[in-house]
Amino acid sequence: MESESAQRKLKRKSRKMIIQFKTKKLDLSARTHITGVLNVTPDSFSDGGRFFNLEDAVSQGMKMVEEGADMIDVGGESTRPGSDPLPTEEELSRVIPVIKSMSAKTDVPISIDTYKAEVARRALDAGAQMINDISALRFDPGMKQVASEFEVPVILMHIKGTPKDMQKDPSYEDVIAEITEYLRQSIKIAEDAGVDREKIIIDPGIGFGKRLQDNLNVLKNLRKFSILGCPILIGCSRKSFIGRVLNLPVEERLEGSLAALAVAVMNGANIVRVHDVKESKRVVSLIDAVIRVE
């Protein structure tokens, strides 16, 4: 009789998760895929200001492509704890030139990291091929229509509250069950609006309205979210829970980020969202080899 771990491995190998973009098709069941983070902001928690001008941003994006990123996630508004919303026009002025320039240079899919329907629409017109919405289509009522109209993949993330107040004493009775139910409802919102189920990716939202123990619990139990039947994306890179466990500032969290990445991949992540693509690619490639060995 097969062991439970052997059955899980067989299920992971046999189950196909194909995400279709305009420029290419990615088989998420074949290996773990990497999304490179490109923050075009002056105030993001980890790299604010480093890639704020167009030339630096595009150069960094292309560097991540060369290092092995399968997707690039472009964001113009910081969603760090305590941050205020950014005016739509300011967000557009930051991301649209970067997306236009990068989409002309590479066929690697670009996602727009925004919760605003107008920003998503303009970004998709400019060459983006995916929406990454931290609110899982809940902050802006128009976002679900944009996702349906453009027929693009969409990442639905769990958040408790808003970036402004999400870390003001968040609490859960059962963090895994509550995140699962939130994402289940968001999948229904998307499907009711006409979004194809096969284009939905879920993200449990490490660091978004969660205590230290909640983040660790999500990582430990990540595979439980597979009950929703969608690819799982996880973003741990440089986040504060790593700093709290290791007592390190953001600029010294590479090893902790890679350790969290390894745990996530071993526990079922299909996509990892990272700042350090080269190092993450090496870790992911080794773990994939271990997971898939006969």
Would you call 105 exposed, middle or buried from its count of C-beta atoms within 10 A (0-12, 13-18, 19+)? Answer: exposed
Residue 226's nearest CA partner among 71, 29, 35 is 29
pLDDT recorded at residue 51: 64
Take residue 215 and report the two structure tokens written for it: 């983040």
Angle, helices 175-192/143-150, rounded to nearest 10 degrees:
60
pLDDT recorded at residue 8: 52
Q: Annotated catalytic, 199?
A: no
Q: Annotated catalytic, 105?
A: no
Angle, helices 54-66/88-105, rounded to nearest 10 degrees:
50
Per-residue pLDDT tens, the chain, 294 aa: give them.
445 555 554 444 446 799 999 989 999 999 999 999 999 987 554 554 566 689 999 999 999 999 999 999 999 998 888 888 899 999 999 999 999 999 999 999 999 999 999 999 999 999 999 999 999 999 999 999 999 999 999 999 999 988 888 888 888 999 999 999 999 999 999 999 999 999 999 999 999 999 999 999 999 999 999 999 999 999 999 999 999 999 999 999 999 999 999 999 999 999 999 999 999 999 999 999 999 888
User: How would CATH label the architecture of 32-79+88-102+109-287?
Assistant: Alpha-Beta Barrel (3.20)
Please answer whether residues 21 and 129 qualify as being in contact, where contact means their C-beta atoms are separated by less than 8 angstroms: yes
**Which amino acid appears at position 44 of this protein?**
S
pTM of the model: 0.91
Give the integer Cα–Cα distance in Å for 7 and 14.
Answer: 11
pLDDT recorded at residue 10: 45
Backbone angles phi, psi at 252, to 5 degrees: -120, 30
pLDDT recorded at residue 6: 52
pLDDT recorded at residue 163: 87
The number of beta carbons lying within 10 Å of the beta carbon of residue 152 is 24
Residue 144: partners with Cβ closer than 8 Å, 6 or more residues away: 137, 189, 190, 192, 193, 195
Largest CA distance in the chain: 60
Please answer whether residues 114 and 79 qualify as being in contact, where contact means their C-beta atoms are separated by less than 8 angstroms: no
Catalytic pick among 239, 244, 281, 282 = 239
Residue 24's nearest CA partner among 58, 59, 75, 65 is 65
The residues spanned by each domain of the chain are 32-79+88-102+109-287
